[in-house]
């Protein structure tokens, strides 16, 4: 029965040794600091660039959109190469490189010069590729050389991302506090502090590891070979299409929600004296979004583990729910938002 299977599974794990616990502490301490540094920059991304003046005029949505897209273009172009470089040169070095690149991007927000802001976005884009590859690769590499750690690798990642949701919620509040003291660049300045602390702990607590090439061919798989694998399996294409459609809507939403909230706050406080009116609470709204993400993850687990829903059913339900939620806002706004509403719906149909 289930109890017998659970007992067998539990007995197959080695007792968690002091070395495994130490590895978990060293990884989680660094991982959460770096994630906090990343989350801190989210709530005021739009505001920090909207506050810039170019040619004596405030930055337009077109300029802000280009800055936004520059970061993603940088990730797309350099991502395949920096991941390999981190494996070859060292995952610890890759993590330290992330902190340096992201700090450059954060510091660039202090500049009033457009080309400096663009370079900062390029640096941040490269750093993002490292953030989502180097630390986790380091953990896997260390787990392979630590007795019993592979048995708890899933648990470690589970703790990392469960804690990441809470870190994101807290980061929204910290960003709001920093912005109230230092203006829209305040959260980015605070982010540099977390990056510095993360780099310090990485230097002190982590030892270097690189990809093990002793048991594999010296020829690394090429991007063309990866594309061939994707083309050969329709299921991979369908998963990629679903993910792309949903994330297309999500990232447009990420860019559009700050000006929408700002406009709503301005309308709500129209005619109110300056002393009574309040600044747009980007940090608080961001924390609410992150709390909703945590709720969504919990709901997904509940539907699968308790209700017994298939993953495909749960995913379709959640994508349809996202479509309804966006539709409620888009119905009274622009055609662009109506188009965004259709993207998760297409994802649900796929």
Q: How far apart are CA 34 and CA 31, in angstroms?
A: 5
Spell out the domains of the chain, with CATH numbers in brackets. 18-210 (1.20.1250.20), 231-264+278-350 (no CATH)
- Compute how many other C-beta atoms are within 10 angstroms of the C-beta atom of residue 97: 20
pLDDT for 15: 84
Q: How far apart are CA 49 and CA 118, in angstroms?
A: 11
The model's pLDDT over 39-86, given as tens digits with 9 standing for 90+, comes to: 999 999 999 999 999 988 999 999 999 999 999 999 999 988 998 899
Q: How far apart are CA 297 and CA 44, in angstroms?
A: 25
Q: What share of the chain is helix, strand, coil (3-state, %, to 5)?
A: 80, 0, 20
The model's pLDDT over 177-233, given as tens digits with 9 standing for 90+, comes to: 999 999 999 999 999 999 999 999 999 999 999 987 665 444 666 778 888 888 899
Burial annotation 103-142 (CB, 10 A radius, 16+ → b, else e)? bbbbbbbeeeebeebbbbbbbbbbbbbbbebbbbbbbbbb
The model's pLDDT over 70-83, given as tens digits with 9 standing for 90+, comes to: 999 999 999 889 98
DSSP-assigned beta bridge partners for residue 57: 54
pLDDT greater than 60 at residue 267: yes
β-strand pairing of 53-54 with 57-58: antiparallel
The mean pLDDT of the chain is 86
Q: Which residues touch 341 (CB under 8 Å, ≥6 apart)?
A: 249, 323, 326, 327, 330
Tokens of residue 199, six digits: 């780099």
The model's pLDDT over 94-149, given as tens digits with 9 standing for 90+, comes to: 999 999 999 999 999 999 999 999 999 999 999 999 999 999 999 999 999 999 89
Please state the pTM of the whole predicted model. 0.85
pLDDT for 228: 87
Residue from 279, 229, 227, 240 nearest 258 by CA: 279
């Amino acid at each position: 029965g289930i109890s017998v299977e659970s007992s067998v599974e539990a007995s197959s794990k080695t007792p968690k040794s002091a070395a495994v616990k130490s590895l978990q502490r060293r990884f989680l301490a660094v991982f959460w600091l770096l994630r906090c540094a990343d989350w801190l920059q989210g709530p005021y991304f739009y505001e920090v660039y909207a506050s810039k003046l170019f040619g004596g005029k405030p930055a337009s949505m077109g300029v802000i959109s280009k800055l936004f897209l520059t970061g993603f273009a940088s990730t797309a172009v350099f991502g395949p190469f920096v991941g390999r470089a981190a494996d070859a040169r060292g995952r610890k070095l890759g993590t330290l490189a992330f902190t340096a690149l992201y700090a450059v991007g954060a510091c660039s927000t202090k500049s009033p010069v457009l080309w400096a802001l663009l370079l900062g976005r390029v640096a941040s884009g490269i750093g993002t590729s490292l953030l989502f590859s180097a630390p986790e690769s380091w953990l896997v590499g260390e787990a392979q050389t630590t007795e019993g750690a592979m048995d708890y690798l899933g648990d470690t990642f589970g703790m990392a991302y469960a804690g990441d949701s809470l870190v994101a919620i807290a980061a929204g509040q910290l960003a709001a506090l920093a912005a109230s003291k230092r203006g829209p660049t305040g959260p980015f300045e605070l982010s540099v502090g977390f990056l510095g602390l993360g780099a310090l702990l990485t230097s002190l607590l982590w030892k270097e590891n690189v990809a093990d090439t002793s048991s594999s061919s010296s020829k690394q798989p090429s991007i063309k070979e990866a594309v061939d694998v994707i083309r050969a399996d329709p299921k991979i294409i369908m998963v990629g299409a679903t993910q792309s459609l949903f994330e297309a809507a999500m990232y447009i939403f990420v860019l559009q929600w700050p000006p929408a909230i700002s406009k709503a706050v301005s309308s709500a406080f129209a005619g109110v004296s300056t002393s009574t009116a309040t600044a747009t609470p980007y940090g608080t709204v961001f924390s609410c979004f992150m709390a909703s993400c945590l709720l969504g993850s919990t709901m997904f687990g509940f539907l699968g583990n308790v209700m017994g829903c298939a993953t495909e059913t749960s995913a379709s339900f959640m994508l349809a729910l996202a479509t309804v939620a966006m539709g409620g806002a888009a119905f009274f706004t622009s055609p662009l938002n109506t188009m965004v509403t259709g993207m998760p719906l297409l994802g649900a149909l796929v």
